[in-house]
Amino acid sequence: MEGQGVILLGHGSRHPGLGRPFAGLQLWLQAELGPAFRVEDAYLSLCAPSLEKALEALVAEGITQVAVLPLFLVAGHHVSEELPGLMQAAAERWPALALSLAPHLGAFGDIAPLLRLRLSQAQPACAPARRAS
């Protein structure tokens, strides 16, 4: 199968209930993009699969183009230092694979409307204490 792949790349979490935190997002994006694309989730640490394992799976399926979408709000250590090295290693391991890296989420100005929406949905953290009369 020759086709295109997308990897949603997150940090990962130690929280036992999260397992694969972006699995739901993966399913949504798969439905949005349709059968011409194969969407996988991957994590830099704390969760499986790793970026390398996700790429391995896509290549094994015959995918020839993969875009990696880092789901990070800031370009901290993982985005600015670790990820470029992982991408370089992948390009060397699979030289026939057309591999691309999208900017991290925080790099997009259009995230501001989402922040406004979430702010409008904010709920009080706790109810104020009632004073005795």
pLDDT digits (tens, 9 = 90+) for 57-77: 999 999 999 999 998 876 767
Instruction: Note the pLDDT of residue 93.
Output: 97
How high does pLDDT run on average in the chain?
85
User: Which residues in the chain land under pLDDT 70?
Assistant: 1-2, 16-21, 74, 76, 107-109, 126-133
pTM of the predicted protein model: 0.80
Instruction: Note the pLDDT of residue 98.
Output: 97
Instruction: Note the pLDDT of residue 133.
Output: 59
Three-state SS annotation for the chain: CCEEEEEEEECCCCCCCCCCCCHHHHHHHHHHHCCCEEEEEEECCCCCCEHHHHHHHHHHCCEEEEEEEECCCCCCHHHHHHHHHHHHHHHHHCCCCEEEECCCHHHCHHHHHHHHHHHHCCCCCCCCCCCCC
Domain ranges in the chain are 3-120
- What kind of architecture, by CATH, is found in domain 3-120? 3-Layer(aba) Sandwich (3.40)
